[in-house]
Amino acid sequence: MAELTTKTVTDAGRAVGRLIKTIEGEARLDPLAQKLAGLIQKLVPEGPVRDLLHGVPLGHPAHPFLVQVPLGAWTSANVLDLLPGGWIPATALIGVGTAAALPAAAAGAVDFAAAHPEQQRVGLVHWASVATAGTLYGASFIARITGNRKAGKRLALAGLVAASVGGYLGGHLAYRQAMGANHAEHVPHLTPTGWHDLGLLTELPEHQLRQRMVGTTPVLLYRDGERVLALADTCSHLSAPLHEGELADDAELGPCVTCPWHGSVFALEDGAVVHGPATAPQPRFEARVTGGRVEVMLPGAG
Ligand code: FES
């Protein structure tokens, strides 16, 4: 048996990295990804259902939370298939897992529709793997309830292989490509503590979005008379500059900004997510006007 060394592990990482890079760079997948994204957006129009599927009320994406049921049920069924007396509970778990895959797929689909092209390319292969897994487990369920034990077990085993590939790619999307991560999480860690002078109030045009810098942190400013609202300018969804977005006035929420990239909407008063795909709120700066100058401070910075 080959010896496990640091080099072996590093080389394995390099080989897998090359394979994934190939998928990430495969621009021929883009027309299909764009068509699918358009279709998903038509099927699930902007509104509360899409926001729920993104995970806006949870504060992080719903998809990883929802995939626990199908993956847990399916893999448990694979284990039960190896144990005496496990046939009936395994069949029930495969039925439950296959049904639970549908909401998980819907949540993944809306996230896919609002992603970078590189993420969508990997997402397509992820999708193909988990759709194959769902089909195989579904076929296994049918084989089981029609009394074909051998086919039922084999199809479930094939489903496990496809689900594992899909799970690996899902991990790559979440952890390596940071799809679904909070892209404003670093803001309090990189922003200097205390109050920071951002120039004269009179230099800030009213009811417009402007960007100023606090150290290396871009800050989004909005002025209404003597009052200034300030949020981190880096969109928590995928890092777009929010000051290039559009302003809107909501009767209940006050002034809001719509992200220029994927249309997330944030309330300028407190950074709350009004509409996804973003699920994490924007860090909010305290703002004051002292001697005609605008000052901001990020609570919890440093
Ligand atoms: S970067 Fe995607 S909504 Fe802002």
Report the nearest atom of ligand 1 relative to the CA of 242: 4
Q: What percentage of the chain has pLDDT greater than the value 90?
A: 94
Max Cα–Cα distance, the chain, nearest Å: 82
> Does the pLDDT of residue 2 top 90, yes or no?
no
Span 212-268, pLDDT tens digits: 999 999 999 999 999 999 999 999 999 999 999 999 988 889 999 999 999 999 999
Question: 92 φ, ψ to 5°?
Answer: -65, -40
How far, in Å, are 192, 217, 231 from residue 211 at the CA level? 17, 10, 10
Report the nearest atom of ligand 1 relative to the CA of 183: 1
pLDDT of residue 279: 98
Q: Measure 234 CA to ligand 1 centroid, in angstroms.
A: 9
Report the nearest atom of ligand 1 relative to the CA of 114: 2
**Residues having CB within 6 Å of any atom of ligand 1:** 235, 237-240, 259, 261-264, 277-278
**Domains of the chain, residue spans:** 11-176, 187-297
> Which of 111, 177, 242, 262 to mutate to test ligand 1, by most ligand atoms within 8 A of the CB atom?
262
Report the nearest atom of ligand 1 relative to the CA of 259: 4
Q: Measure 21 CA to ligand 1 centroid, in angstroms.
A: 23
Q: Measure 218 CA to ligand 1 centroid, in angstroms.
A: 16
Q: What is the mean pLDDT of the chain?
A: 96
pLDDT of residue 251: 84
| Domain 187-297 grouped into CATH 3.30.43.10 | no
Q: Whose CA is nearest to atom 2 of ligand 1?
A: 262
Q: What is the dihedral of CA 177, 179, 181, 186, to 10 degrees?
A: 50
Bridge-based pairing of strands 246-250 and 227-232 is unpaired
Q: Measure 231 CA to ligand 1 centroid, in angstroms.
A: 15
Span 196-222, pLDDT tens digits: 999 999 999 999 999 999 999 999 999
Q: Measure 269 CA to ligand 1 centroid, in angstroms.
A: 19
How far, in Å, are 25, 98, 120, 163, 286 from residue 130 at the CA level? 21, 11, 15, 5, 45
Q: What are the tokens at 249?
A: 């006035």
Span 128-143, pLDDT tens digits: 999 999 999 999 999 9
pTM across the whole model: 0.91
Residue length of the chain = 302
